[in-house]
Amino acid sequence: MASYKTLEFDVLVIGAGGAGLRAAIEASAAGAKVGVVSKSLLGKAHTVMAEGGVAASIGNVDDRDNWRVHFSDTMRGGQYLNNPRMAEIHAKEAPARVLELEAWGALFDRTKDGRILQRNFGGHKFPRLAHVGDRTGLEMIRTLQDHAIHKQIDFHMECTVVTLLKHDGRVTGAFGYYREHGQFVVIRANAIVLATGGIGKSFSITSNSWEYTADGHALAYRAGADLMDMEFVQFHPTGMVWPPSVRGILVTEGVRGEGGVLRNSQGKRFMFDDIPDLYKNQTAKDEEEGWRYVTGDKDANRPPELLTRDHVARCINREVKEGRGSPHGGVYLDIAWIKEKIPNAQEHIKKKLPSMYHQFKELAGVDITTEAMEVGPTCHYVMGGVRVDAETQMSTVPGLFAAGECAAGLHGANRLGGNSLSDLLVFGKRAGEHAAAFALGQTGPFPDANAQVADAAAWAEEPFARDQNGDNPFRVQHDLQAMMHAKVGIVRIDSEMREALDDLKSLGERSLAAPVSGNRDFNPGWHTAMDMRNMLTVAEAVTLAAVERQESRGAHFRDDFPAKDPEAAKFNIVLRQGSDGAMQVVRTPVVARTDEQDAVIKEMG
């Protein structure tokens, strides 16, 4: 049998983005021996790319804000498919989690009286996002990283998990490999926290990096856990569209929060044309009111550019489709226009949006202080994930926890901007705490896992033995991305999705034949060949769930069922592996709201 290294922890955290680091810090504080494995180097995870801010109703800028408003905004944004208990916990605990970061060294931008400054964002009623210019994610991950390295946590960087080990129905460890030399590693642990992020690499235009291959989703699924809400894949409305090589790179919603407006090729602010009923009372009547809102007038309603992401993305899609797009297939996002309103606008923009300024200047040759940007939707986030208990974040498999993007429940059908950074703090902490408690409650030695390890090692070594004539793994991955984008993208229809299911079968066969050359030392071809299994599993989950939901809601839009169906508001879609190995699609009743929660939602109108 292949040789491997063995590690032992109470709690193993898979992933070192915000959720993973926060979970590790908490589990360690609870007295557990904690190990963290991450696919990349520490501090490089996707959290680093979050720009706009972290949502928490601290109320520093508008003291009318509180957890009730945040809860209600989150539920409305999620079109009421959210787990209401998670939305409540999130809204209540986010302020404390953000303030705690300050105690660990984070330096947020300040209000005039020296407190944490908060900015406007789509779907949030009040200015709620604590931020650092447009590099909030970097500030958060660095704060967590620099705090965690002093907490007796054992970090294993550039280490990828391919299989979870189980015994008597609960998880007992994981099997993986180090990227550097391909050495296998068996990590025994009584509790595992999945904090692996999302699935965006399964689509061709995406803001996500190579890491986002749905690992946590697929590991949990294969270990017998439920996935939920997988039909809800968020396309962020503003990604770069030109030049081609940067297509998909994120343009923060903060641009719109600071007064940026969307226009079509005719110069029209098209977002005023289509305002959903759910938001009619909360949206500005004209451009003037919209401007007053972004400059802090508490009596004004938000401009329609700050409607939820699903809606803005579809409006942009429509403009482009109907021939009113920009030259490279997007629309215009203009922040430069604020020079009509304020003096020193150029300096103001550079100060508020420094990385956007550099990104456009250096990658597209566009000066955003004088010209409009071209933007279009980019695959950004998955609301769906591992179905977890609201209080503990434990999945349906004992000992297996999930937090952050790879968990489902908080965001329902659509996530509000800023709610992911707060999600990973609030539920990262909870996952760490409960994983530690679970692990410390286990007694006795780790059970024998030799057979599972041998199977996993054989599976990992197999690609080198393949016939060298097939398509290489990058080609198969590329074709999967193009197929998913075309057939299970922003606008969906039954016939195309059924084609997608057939395509997934043939892509699966091709991926099993994709040859890998070279050896196991830092070999991206080999890594991609292995990642393909996760991407295919989760692409199937997304497609099956999207076929099942015969309505349009939140991020899921069906051309053949363009309206919301009140009946479909009553269930979430769960995917789990059947005893025959096939993926089962199950409708599960939405978690009922308490009377108090209903009262809060009603009160907020």
Partner 1 sequence: MAKVNFKIWRGEKGDGGYKEYTTEVTEGMVVLDAVHQIQAETAPDLAVRWNCKAGKCGSCSAEINGKPRLMCMTRCSDLPLHEGVTIEPMQAFPHLRDLVTDVSFNYRAKKQIKPFKPRKPDAPDGTWRMSQVDVEKAQEFRKCIECYLCQNVCHVLREHAKHDEFIGPRLFVYSAALEMHPLDTEDRLKDLKDRDGIGYCNITKCCTTVCPEHITITDNAIIPLKERVVDAFYDPLAKLFRGLGKKKS
Q: Which residues are identified as catalytic? A: 236, 256
Q: Does 599 bind partner 1 (CB under 8 A)?
A: no
Q: Which stretch binds partner 1 (CB under 8 A): 30-38, 417-425, 448-456, 524-532?
A: 524-532
Question: Distance between CA atoms of 484 and 482, rounded to whole angstroms?
Answer: 6
Asked if 311 and 253 touch (Cβ cutoff 8 Å), the reply is no
Site string for partner 1, 525-554 (x = CB under 8 A): xx-x--------------------------
Sign of CA dihedral 110, 404, 209, 6: positive
Q: Could you tell me the two tokens for 408?
A: 């489902």
Smallest gap from residue 470 Cβ to partner 1 (A): 12
**Which lies closer to partner 1 via its Cβ, residue 100 or residue 389?**
100
Beta bridge partners of 302: 283
**Which lies closer to partner 1 via its Cβ, residue 206 or residue 393?**
206
Q: Does 78 bind partner 1 (CB under 8 A)?
A: no
> Which residues within the stretch 388-427 sit at the binding site for partner 1 (CB under 8 A)?
none
**Which lies closer to partner 1 via its Cβ, residue 72 or residue 369?**
369
Pick the binder of partner 1 from 12, 16, 130, 138 (CB under 8 A).
138
Using alpha carbons only, give the angle 420, 426, 430 rounded to the nearest 5 degrees.
130
Smallest gap from residue 29 Cβ to partner 1 (A): 15
Q: Does 474 bind partner 1 (CB under 8 A)?
A: yes
Type of residue numbered 205? I
Q: Does 243 bind partner 1 (CB under 8 A)?
A: yes
Residue among 31, 27, 29 nearest 11 (CA): 27
Say what the alpha-carbon torsion angle 279, 326, 205, 423 is, to the nearest 10 degrees: -30
Q: Could you tell me the two tokens for 403?
A: 């937090």
Type of residue numbered 175? F
**Which lies closer to partner 1 via its Cβ, residue 116 or residue 219?**
116
Q: Which stretch binds partner 1 (CB under 8 A): 318-326, 332-340, 358-366, 394-402?
A: 358-366
Pick the binder of partner 1 from 29, 292, 524, 591 (CB under 8 A).
524
**Which lies closer to partner 1 via its Cβ, residue 150 or residue 602?**
150
Site string for partner 1, 21-50 (x = CB under 8 A): -------------------xxxxxxx-xx-
Q: Does 280 bind partner 1 (CB under 8 A)?
A: no
Question: Distance between CA atoms of 396 and 223, rounded to whole angstroms?
Answer: 10
Residues 6 or more apart in contact with residue 270 via CB below 8 angstroms: 262, 263, 264, 315, 319, 324, 331
Smallest gap from residue 515 Cβ to partner 1 (A): 9
Q: Which residue has the tokens 């500030």?
A: 139
Smallest gap from residue 333 Cβ to partner 1 (A): 16
Q: Does 115 bind partner 1 (CB under 8 A)?
A: yes
Smallest gap from residue 45 Cβ to partner 1 (A): 8
Smallest gap from residue 112 Cβ to partner 1 (A): 8
Determine how β-strand 571-577 pairs with β-strand 583-589: antiparallel
Question: Phi, psi (5° rounding) for residue 5?
Answer: -95, 150
Q: Does 518 bind partner 1 (CB under 8 A)?
A: yes
DSSP-derived 3-state class of residue 333: strand
Question: Distance between CA atoms of 496 and 492, rounded to whole angstroms?
Answer: 7
Question: Distance between CA atoms of 403 and 49, rounded to whole angstroms?
Answer: 18
Question: Distance between CA atoms of 235 and 256, rounded to whole angstroms?
Answer: 16
Chain center to CA of 299: 33
**Which lies closer to partner 1 via its Cβ, residue 294 or residue 516?**
516
Buried b / exposed e over 17-50, threshold 16 CB at 10 Å, is: bbbbbbbbbbbbebebbbbbbbbbebbbbbbbbb
For 116, which DSSP code?
B
Pick the binder of partner 1 from 4, 337, 522, 571 (CB under 8 A).
522
Q: Which stretch binds partner 1 (CB under 8 A): 144-152, 229-237, 266-274, 438-446?
A: 144-152
Q: Does 467 bind partner 1 (CB under 8 A)?
A: no
Smallest gap from residue 211 Cβ to partner 1 (A): 7
Q: Which stretch binds partner 1 (CB under 8 A): 79-87, 145-153, 252-260, 331-339?
A: 145-153
Question: Distance between CA atoms of 432 and 194, rounded to whole angstroms?
Answer: 10
Smallest gap from residue 55 Cβ to partner 1 (A): 18
Q: Does 246 bind partner 1 (CB under 8 A)?
A: yes
Question: Phi, psi (5° rounding) for residue 407?
Answer: -100, 155
Q: Could you tell me the two tokens for 290?
A: 């919209």
Q: Does 142 bind partner 1 (CB under 8 A)?
A: yes
**Which lies closer to partner 1 via its Cβ, residue 355 or residue 396?**
355
Pick the binder of partner 1 from 149, 458, 592, 599 (CB under 8 A).
149
Site string for partner 1, 95-114 (x = CB under 8 A): ----x--xxxx-xxxx--xx
Q: Could you tell me the two tokens for 418?
A: 């800023």
**Which lies closer to partner 1 via its Cβ, residue 272 or residue 357?**
357
Site string for partner 1, 170-209 (x = CB under 8 A): ----------x----------------------------x
Q: Does 130 bind partner 1 (CB under 8 A)?
A: no
Q: Could you tell me the two tokens for 345?
A: 């606008």
Determine how β-strand 34-37 pairs with β-strand 4-14: parallel
Asked if 226 and 575 touch (Cβ cutoff 8 Å), the reply is yes
Residues 6 or more apart in contact with residue 600 via CB below 8 angstroms: 68, 71, 72
Q: Is 601 exposed, middle or buried (0-12, 13-18, 19+ CB in 10 A)?
A: middle
Q: Which stretch binds partner 1 (CB under 8 A): 74-82, 188-196, 333-341, 469-477?
A: 469-477
Instruction: Please work out the total of residues on this chain that contact partner 1, with binding judged by CB under 8 A.
Output: 68
Q: Does 146 bind partner 1 (CB under 8 A)?
A: yes
Residues 6 or more apart in contact with residue 321 via CB below 8 angstroms: none
Type of residue numbered 580? D
> Which residues within the stretch 363-382 sit at the binding site for partner 1 (CB under 8 A)?
363-364
Alpha helices in 202-281 (DSSP H): 215-222, 254-257
**Which lies closer to partner 1 via its Cβ, residue 510 or residue 570?**
510
Q: Does 5 bind partner 1 (CB under 8 A)?
A: no
What is the contact surface with partner 1 in residues (CB under 8 A)? 40-46, 48-49, 99, 102-105, 107-110, 113-117, 132-133, 135, 137-139, 142, 146-147, 149-150, 157, 180, 209-211, 242-246, 249-250, 355, 358-359, 362-364, 472-475, 478, 516-519, 521-526, 528
